[in-house]
Structure 1
Amino acid sequence: MKKKQWHGWGPGDPAEQHYLVHPRALAGGGDIRHVGEFLRASGWRDHSKEDGPLAMMSPDRTVRIAYDPHGRPGGWAINGAADGLNNSWSAHLGRETPVEIVAGLTDALTLPRSAHAPNVWAPLEEQRWHARVEGEHYTAASPDGTAWMQYRQSPDGSARWWSGAKDSRGTAWTATFTPTTPMHLVQAFAAALASPDPVMRPRGHVPLSAEVRTWSVSVTPSQLSAWQQARITAARAATWARNSAQSARPRTAARLRTAAGAAKTRR
């Protein structure tokens, strides 16, 4: 995937049939460029091999994101190194985890943390998920029962976050997070999981599931490219603003120190 860019198409493209899929948790994996292009536009380094699995590294080299559909167990592997605030952490999301839900977590890695304390259950409660206590486990399930989020505690005292989606045929995908995973990232994942908005899939890429509802829509390749480009442009703008603010701080501090020194000299 290295150095590959999202290319648009010219005007007058014939419309193509796509589907809006609900619930999003059962929409299938989707196009991984939804995740990778956003990270690249946010300044992440692309270490993917030519035509190989996706591999991205954060600008500060503390977080690595990889997607490998052929490995075992396969899917998304996200690993964070220990820093001054957190121990090392990791998350694994199955290969059929919708990219829009994956992006809930990965997009949050590019954003400054909120000043508010994170609450994983808040976005689930807002969407009227059903919560219950099962022994040492605390679980919230979607109203239709197709998705869940669980905080699991084992008899040995270890704990982890566990999520996933299922239909009448069985489990579609699961996601696990180590207990050291920063809570604001787990919350961002939960918010994307619980979102009631459908996601779009091209014809032939909608899972065959009795629990899935679809609406047929006609879109042109140019429209699809424009929507993706808007997401990339937003990432670039946020990155530019963040980098500009960071580069301005030392100069501002230096000016303040110089002004303070001049004031003392005048005294």
Structure 2
Amino acid sequence: MKKKQWQGWGPGEQAEQHYLVHPRALAGGGDVRHISEFLRASGWRDKSKVNGPLLMESPDRTVRVAYDPCVLPGGWTIHGRADGPNGEWSAHLGRQTPVEIVAGLTDALTRPRSAHAPNVWVPLQEQNWHTRFEGEHYTATSPDGTAWTQYRHGSDGAALWWTGAKDKQGNGWTANFTPNTPMHLVQAFSAELANPDPVMRPRGRITHSAQIRTWSVSVRPSELRAWQQARITAARAATWARNSARSTRPRTTARPSTHAGSARIRH
């Protein structure tokens, strides 16, 4: 994966069968390049070893995003180191967490924080999720009952965010966020979790579940490449805009005068 230009999902123009899957929370993991290529286009460094798990590092080296399907339980680990007033934090997401939902969090890592105070529950309530207290826990459940988000206290008393999805056959995933995970990241994740739009999966990659609905669609490889390229182009444009703004920002402190300093030394 490292230092290779991604060319899309394959050559040729023969239409291929794909499926739109709803609800998205039960669609399965998907293609990790949905996340890695966006981060790379946003200036993140690919620290992956050859034939090893994915590892991306933010430009300021404060956050790492890793994906390893070959260990148990496997999946995504996002880790932020302590930075000034912000403490160390981490998020762990299961292998079957749809990449479109993971991207809610990882895309948000590339953007400046909003000036508005984040609220994890708002995007869930906007999609008619049912919120309630369950003892010491506060829980939101999707209208179909397959997905949830919960703010809870563990057996050791520590608070954490716990979320996931599961069908009646037991298929699904869970994710947890340490309590000091930046709230705007948890909110971005919950917004994609609650997003009512279906996601697309290729034939043969559909989760066997009685609680999903699918619609067959024919898609040309060039269309897939164009859709992915639009996402990459948007990431590059946003990165260029941020870097340009930083480079043109006026200095807030005056640069010391070399001449004045030399005169004092001679004196």
Q: Given the alignment of the two structures, is residue 176 of structure 1 paired with residue 152 of structure 2, yes or no? A: no
Distance 1:86 1:169, change over 3 A: same
Distance 1:205 1:85, change over 3 A: same
Instruction: Report the equivalent of 1:83.
Output: 83
Q: Is the Cα–Cα contact under 8 Å of residues 142 and 194 in structure 1 kept in the other structure?
A: yes
1:50 Cα shift?
Answer: 1.7
Q: Given the alignment of the two structures, is residue 221 of structure 1 paired with residue 221 of structure 2, yes or no? A: yes
Q: Is the Cα–Cα contact under 8 Å of residues 8 and 228 in structure 2 kept in the other structure?
A: no
Instruction: Report the equivalent of 1:110.
Output: 110
Distance 1:11 1:155, change over 3 A: closer
CA distance in structure 1 between the aligned counterparts of 2:213 and 2:72, rounded to whole angstroms: 31
CA distance in structure 1 between the aligned counterparts of 2:97 and 2:4, rounded to whole angstroms: 23
Q: Secondary structure at the match of 1:73?
A: coil
Number of matched residues?
A: 255
Instruction: Report the equivalent of 2:232.
Output: 232
Q: Per-residue CA shift, 1:163-193, capped at 9, x if unaligned?
A: 0000011151000000010000000000000
Q: Per-residue CA shift, 1:196-217, capped at 9, x if unaligned?
A: 0000000000101000100000
User: Counterparts of 1:48-127 in structure 2 under 5 Å?
Assistant: 48-127=48-127
Q: Is the Cα–Cα contact under 8 Å of residues 152 and 161 in structure 1 kept in the other structure?
A: yes
Instruction: Report the equivalent of 1:265.
Output: none
CA distance in structure 2 between the aligned counterparts of 1:7 and 1:40, rounded to whole angstroms: 14
Counterpart amino acid of 2:111?
A: L
Structure 2 unaligned regions, length at least 5: 256-267
Instruction: Report the equivalent of 2:260.
Output: none
Distance 1:122 1:32, change over 3 A: same
Instruction: Report the equivalent of 2:251.
Output: 253
Q: Secondary structure at the match of 2:165?
A: strand
Instruction: Report the equivalent of 1:149.
Output: 149
1:253 Cα shift?
Answer: 2.4
1:157 Cα shift?
Answer: 3.3
- TM-score norm. by structure 2 comes to 0.92
Q: Secondary structure at the match of 1:253?
A: coil
Q: Secondary structure at the match of 2:83?
A: coil
CA distance in structure 2 between the aligned counterparts of 1:9 and 1:153, rounded to whole angstroms: 43
Q: Given the alignment of the two structures, is residue 158 of structure 1 paired with residue 129 of structure 2, yes or no? A: no
Counterpart amino acid of 2:247?
A: S
Distance 1:10 1:50, change over 3 A: closer
User: Counterparts of 1:2-41 in structure 2 under 5 Å?
Assistant: 2-8=2-8, 13-41=13-41
Farther-moved stretch of structure 1 (215-224 vs 166-175): 166-175
Distance 1:9 1:40, change over 3 A: closer
